[in-house]
Amino acid sequence: MRSDASWKGDRNVAGLGWVIYGENGPIKFSAVEEHVSTPLMAESIAMRAALVKCKEMGVHRIRCEADSKQLIACIRNEEPMPEIYGIVSDIVALASEFETISFGWISRLENVIADGLAKQCVVVNEDVNSLT
């Protein structure tokens, strides 16, 4: 599973994107989250949302990848970050429900699908909000 986020600081809105790769090919998901104060928080929320979806789908073994070195370090308890402590706690709790799980960093070039989904959500959200 690969996750990513796109953050719009002037509105504190994040687009979330994630892709679950399985035997039947990739399955793509996206969402919009409001009241997101930082890009790192957005990345964390995307990872949490992806893990929730994996659990709902009955995935038992998973490798979670993101292009945020800070997020991966936080999850691995290498670099605590107070701003995302609660979300990382949720991720760790969710992780305990899988048979096997690992977390790894990937380059932005390897994460273009999730990145595109996240960016598209922010653009669509902007378009919808401009109509109201």
Domain count, the chain: 1
Establish if 27 belongs to a structural domain. Answer: yes
> Among 14, 44, 19, which residue's Cα sits nearest to residue 32?
14
pLDDT (mean) for 19-24: 92
Establish if 96 belongs to a structural domain. Answer: yes
Establish if 129 belongs to a structural domain. Answer: no
Q: What is the pLDDT of residue 126?
A: 64
Establish if 26 belongs to a structural domain. Answer: yes
CATH of the domain at 69: 3.30.420.10
CA distance 5 to 117: 8
CA distance 118 to 45: 12
H or E element in which residue 49 lies: helix 39-56
CA distance 26 to 113: 10
- Most distant CA atoms of the chain, gap in Å: 46
Owning domain of residue 50: 2-123
Inform me whether the pLDDT recorded for 47 exceeds 80.
yes
Q: What is the pLDDT of residue 122?
A: 86
pLDDT in tens, 51-108: 999 999 999 999 999 999 999 999 998 777 899 999 999 999 999 999 999 999 999 9
Output the CA torsion sign for 29, 125, 39, 74: negative
Establish if 132 belongs to a structural domain. Answer: no
H or E element in which residue 94 lies: helix 85-95
